[in-house]
Chain A
Amino acid sequence: MIAEWSHEVVLAATVLSWFIIAAGLAQTTIYLLQLVFAGYALSKRPPVARSALLWQRYGDVAPPIALLVPAYNEALNVVESVHSMLALEYPNFEVVVINDGSKDDTLQRLIDAFKLMKFQRPFEEALAHQPIRGLYSSPMTERLFVVDKENGGKADAQNAGINVCRAPLFCVIDGDSILEPDALMRAAQPFIDDPERTIAVGGTIRIANGSKIEAGRVREVHLPRRLLPLFQVVEYLRAFLMARLAWSSINTLMLVSGAFGMFRRAEVVAVGGFTKGSMGEDLDLVIKLHRHMRDKNRKYRIQFIPEPVCWTEAPESLSVLARQRSRWQRGALECFFRYRSMLFNPRYGRVGFLGFGHILIVDVLGPVAEVLGYILIPAFWLLGILSAEYLLAFTALIFTYGVCVSVCSLILEEAELQRFPRARDLAVLTAAAVIENFGYRQLNNFWRVKGWWQYLRGNQGWGEMTRTGLGAAKK
């Protein structure tokens, strides 16, 4: 059958297929290596089960931390979120909420709930941001400060918070997320164990949809009832327990999530803070930190530790999820091309080779190659241009290796952390880890290619994130 096509057509199809399969192979190899590294890292550093022990051990030497909470139109959740943050178990912290020019009554709700009063606090204008309209403090608690500023986006709000805060460390968290009570204490551990070198630490983000939430705390962990957030539970496990843990173990972590990350203030100020208007401001900041420290020839650590947990609400509708994923893709592309000089640059060592190599293969080439593969490889086979071998190889890379990687992430979770309380949850997640490779993965890649297209067209919109509110609807 192959003989019926001209040599040129067969050659072109073969080259194209090889490119697609090679990209898939590279991606799969990276994932399998990440699994090995992550497994090793978890076995080397098993988690401390009880947070009371951490308090006893680190309470006296824990450094002060400022918790920065940018809030834009978060009226639904903000009071409950702030209450839960004020109740965190950490000896020395302050909560700085930055109202980023919300159009709803976010600020008024805070003023009413915490009896806020206008306050003057001298601070260093180290980073540029939109003008601050007022600072507020609460007579109810000396831990809370609210910054009311004109709208400038998340990065701008975070920069304002960095300016206002006084602690040597700050922790960024989304206004609609819930930190576990011991999350700060656990995340601060690397800053205690190695205070000179540690400049950033990321914790785990977990999906709270379906869990029982009361008074800003996750009381009972349940799986989401809907399929879309359920698939995202598996995705998040893969992203955090596999990818970040693996890169962290070789000091090549390229992303500390903006939804929960702890940073040393001095270094963040030195790199100019969060890049305003960036689609992936968290990725951007970590890359800048790597570049700064390597340019200065300083020893440093950017770490991920799996035990501190921040719960977040995952999108439940296709349209919102599609916007989120396209935005993430644009963020990755934007950072990749902005800092492209670091790619394979020996000056940046493993960050340039492994970290940027990973972004190139997984974020830049990955989605395009995979979506091309969905269309071309079956077409070439159906038209008789290529043999079934190619189709099988592509199928293996997309489906069967996908199942293996997702299930192995779940194995890591169960073997070391056991955060899902019931055996039935594990069975459901195992099924989800298999099924997500048949449909959801393809959809995701389609959204990512859409993100590519938007990036090429210069689309910089964030899109609306519709939320139902963790405390309100997910009981």
Chain B
Amino acid sequence: MWYIWDLSILLSALSLATMLLLIARRVLQERRGRAPADQRRQVLTALIAFTENRDREALKATVLGVQAGMAIDAGFEFISLLRGEERDDVLVAFNECDLPDRVGRLLQKGNVAERIHAAEMLAALGSEDASAKLLSALAQDRSREVRIAAAIALCDLGSLPLLGTALDFIGVAGQRSRRLIELFRRFPRSRFNELAVHASRVDASPFVRAAAIDALAHAGGFGFADFFAGLADDASPEVVAAALRALGLTGHAQAPAILKRAMANDDWDVRAAAAESAGRLGLPELAAPLSRLLDDEVWTVRYAAANALRSFGQPGERLLREIASAEVSRSQRTASLILAEGPVL
């Protein structure tokens, strides 16, 4: 039994000693007073002054006179507010102070949060070797979040490797992140075909394919309408739903037939997407299948169908009123609810 007592005394004494050390560290930090806040203010003031007088030497003297981390942080925040020539001038000054080098070291040796931030800063600082450092992080970093941040930064710099290669580097686990949507939305128009190729790859993850379709629909426009129509028969419901939503944005000659077919799909997400797109495109010829969806077993589908009918204007509203005044049923209740939406007069 004695060992229980002895060990407890040892552990308690150790924990108290550690805590005392941490308190002492904090006392020292307090004694140093407001130095970090003052340094930050100094850098920001110098940057503001620089945008007025372009005195690069004065800015460099201030940046080199404070802690590197502080200069990097405050500088990054400031340059995100600048554009054009002003921004380029500040970047030149930062490069001459070797800030990108320091950020590069942070990308290699910092903790996860610091490495992600370093990737973002490297893209903003845009130094000559930024792409090489980011490529190395994309290929080798242990954390998938850092690899994704590096991919986004490389995309901003126009140096992202082929999409398939980048996704391989990001890894299977990383390909579940919504950050990929961010990556795809930043894709340059000239490389949209890569997104399209990946979206049609049946061996790729449905989440990634759907994200690629979404990005193409928002930025690619009607040029990809045929492509979306082709994907409406894909084996993956997630991909089909994304393709249908994309068709709702771009429109297509075959959209009524495709959407009507999709309204009978076994997957509720597909049916809901079809109803949404029918409403968005304003296709009154789909009123009949939409009114059948008012009886769907899934509320999301019923609600999307009712909303679609309502978006058709008077003909849709008339149909909803007819259904609402019919015998009590799921369709009748859905129609009544959607018609009642709004302020109570």
- Chain A residues at the B interface, C-beta cutoff of 8 Å: 21, 25, 32, 43-49, 52-53, 56-58, 60-61, 63, 117-122, 124, 126, 134, 137, 191-197, 389-390, 392-393, 395-397, 400-401, 403-404, 407-408, 410-411, 414-415, 422-423, 426-427, 430, 434
Q: How far is the CA of A432 from the CA of B250 in the complex (A)?
A: 64
A196 contacts across to B, CB distance below 8 A:
176, 207
Interchain residue pairs with CB less than 8 A apart (9): A52-B77, A126-B299, A196-B176, A397-B4, A400-B9, A400-B11, A404-B11, A407-B12, A423-B29
- 1/0 per residue, CB under 8 A from A, across B105-131: the answer is 000000111101100100000000000
Contact status B177-A121, CB under 8 Å: no
| CB of B27 within 8 Å of the partner chain | yes
A306 to chain B, nearest CB (A): 13
B9 contacts across to A, CB distance below 8 A:
396, 400
Shortest Cβ distance from B173 into A: residue: A194
B329 contacts across to A, CB distance below 8 A:
none
**Choice from B15, B20, B300 contacting A408 with Cβ under 8 Å:** B15
B7 contacts across to A, CB distance below 8 A:
396
Contact status B340-A60, CB under 8 Å: no
**Choice from A56, A121, A192, A403 contacting B341 with Cβ under 8 Å:** A121
Main secondary structure of the interface of B (DSSP, over half): helix
Contact status A430-B11, CB under 8 Å: no
B272 to chain A, nearest CB (A): 12
A423 contacts across to B, CB distance below 8 A:
23, 26-27, 29-30
Q: How far is the CA of A331 from the CA of B117 in the complex (A)?
A: 42
Shortest Cβ distance from A117 into B: residue: B343
Q: 6 closest Cβ contacts across the A-B interface?
A: A124-B299, A122-B337, A396-B8, A400-B8, A389-B1, A118-B344
**Choice from A120, A393, A403 contacting B5 with Cβ under 8 Å:** A393
16 extra A-B contacts, CB within 8 A, seeds A392-B4, A411-B19: A21-B1, A44-B112, A45-B112, A46-B111, A47-B113, A120-B340, A120-B342, A120-B343, A121-B341, A193-B177, A195-B177, A196-B176, A396-B8, A414-B22, A414-B26, A423-B27
- Give the total of B residues in contact with A, Cβ under 8 Å: 53
B344 contacts across to A, CB distance below 8 A:
117-120, 134
B19 contacts across to A, CB distance below 8 A:
407, 410-411, 414, 426, 430
B1 contacts across to A, CB distance below 8 A:
21, 389-390, 392-393
Q: How far is the CA of A401 from the CA of B13 in the complex (A)?
A: 10
- Chain B residues at the A interface, C-beta cutoff of 8 Å: 1-2, 4-5, 7-9, 11-12, 14-16, 18-20, 22-23, 26-27, 29-30, 77, 80, 111-114, 116-117, 120, 145, 149, 173, 176-179, 181-182, 185, 207, 299-300, 303, 306, 334, 337-338, 340-344
Given A404-B15, A411-B19, are A389 and B2 neighbors across the interface (CB < 8 Å)?
Answer: yes
Shortest Cβ distance from A403 into B: residue: B12
Contact status B177-A192, CB under 8 Å: yes
Contact status A197-B176, CB under 8 Å: yes
B5 to chain A, nearest CB (A): 4
Q: How far is the CA of A395 from the CA of B182 in the complex (A)?
A: 56
Shortest Cβ distance from B340 into A: residue: A120
